[in-house]
Structure 1
């Protein structure tokens, strides 16, 4: 009887361990959110949204239990050209003084084709929230240098900036913005810096 009880407890514990998704902290040093657009047909500039802060809940066995929430401080926006960075942060575009962050919060995660994921969520820019769908690839799941569980993802989507109240210079500067995201995230360990 005692053996049976022990076996049942172990099986239940194993089932719970498998069912429990892990919560990861995004690594801002290995996360890039790149926006690119067309400028008068001549070039395709990019801007990086740095200093990303966020958490990722990932369950490989039950991806629908996964989620992501990210904050992009616009103080970390860098268009690689100081004047352009300053202009993008101005009231003509993001109005970073009035709206200091952009945010994304997932509402649904599902399996896509070829082992990819579809992540639907709400993107908020200038206090305007619209649904977007990210096409996501799991790059790798493993362990970080400290032995903590670690994952890496890449994602893409296209948005229309005019839907978020960022409409300056359309159509000469494209309305469509391509977003390319790459990130690494690790399960925080006891003693990690908060």
Structure 2
């Protein structure tokens, strides 16, 4: 084959429409692959966890009540105790004889402190029947009121969890045995002066906590295994409390 014929042969090969189509499809496939990879990278960047600046402690809600010493108002306070009863219901009783004090810091609530005392002989179950169930719970197998006449709580630390909620840690003493206890507390309302005009400031709180009665030597009717028949070891404590502080009446206008 001569040079001219060979050159013509190569030119004809270069003009092959099938080869052009193949190259074009390869280029298109390559571009689609690039676009697809870029899209995946974009999605990954969007879904990557965002780094947040560390949040500071919650700002406490403003309280329209003065700092200082407050006394627990027993007529507007309740302490309920609930325990799972053979898996059937949450049996509820009340501890009626309650006293306490609050050292309240309105500017910095975590610096506040609480003490409370409950009469061990003040159990109210409203049990219907001939047996004196209140007395049974107050006796030596349970609260042992004769030897340990009161349940005591003294706070040791308060941590804010939101503007009007916190976690209060303290020492709880039952039957002369002391263990740490934690209560989740909600601040409900405060008044610089009673809404009905009485000369006193008011503060109101709700609190909930869980206590293991076996920690305090109360092992009567404990289930032999978790979920078994018996009265639950973990006992819920539900508190509604109001505190009062006397305030001097306003001076009469001249």
TM range (shorter): 0.7 to 0.9
Tell me the distance in 2 between the aligned counterparts of 1:137 and 1:111: 10
1:110 correspondence with 2:159: yes
Tell me the distance in 1 between the aligned counterparts of 2:246 and 2:168: 23
Tell me the distance in 2 between the aligned counterparts of 1:87 and 1:43: 20
Tell me the distance in 2 between the aligned counterparts of 1:42 and 1:66: 39
Deviation per CA, 1:86-120: give whole Å up to 9, x if none: 11101111011111100100001121135301111
Tell me the distance in 1 between the aligned counterparts of 2:83 and 2:237: 9
Specify every segment of 5 or more residues in structure 1 that has no aligned partner in the other structure, as ranges.
Answer: 1-19
1:173 correspondence with 2:231: yes
The alpha carbon displacement at 1:189 in A equals 5.1
Q: How does 1:154-193 map to 2 (within 5 A)?
A: 154-171=206-223, 172-188=230-246
Structure having greater relative contact order (Cα 8 Å, sep ≥ 6):
1
1:90 correspondence with 2:148: no
1:28 correspondence with 2:74: yes
**Which shows bigger deviation, 177-186 or 90-99?**
90-99
Equivalent pairs counted in the alignment come to 171
The alpha carbon displacement at 1:84 in A equals 2.2
SS at match of 2:90: coil
Q: Is the 8 A contact 1:109 1:120 kept in 2?
A: yes
Q: Provide the aligned C-alpha RMSD in A.
A: 1.6
Partner of 1:10: none
Larger radius of gyration, structure 1 or 2? 2
Q: Is the 8 A contact 1:25 1:188 kept in 2?
A: no
The alpha carbon displacement at 1:38 in A equals 1.0
Tell me the distance in 2 between the aligned counterparts of 1:127 and 1:188: 33
- Structure-1-length-normalised TM-score: 0.83
Tell me the distance in 1 between the aligned counterparts of 2:246 and 2:94: 25
SS at match of 2:84: coil
TM superposition outliers: structure 1 runs of 4+ over 2 Å: none
Deviation per CA, 1:145-192: give whole Å up to 9, x if none: 4131100000000110000111111011100000000011101357xx
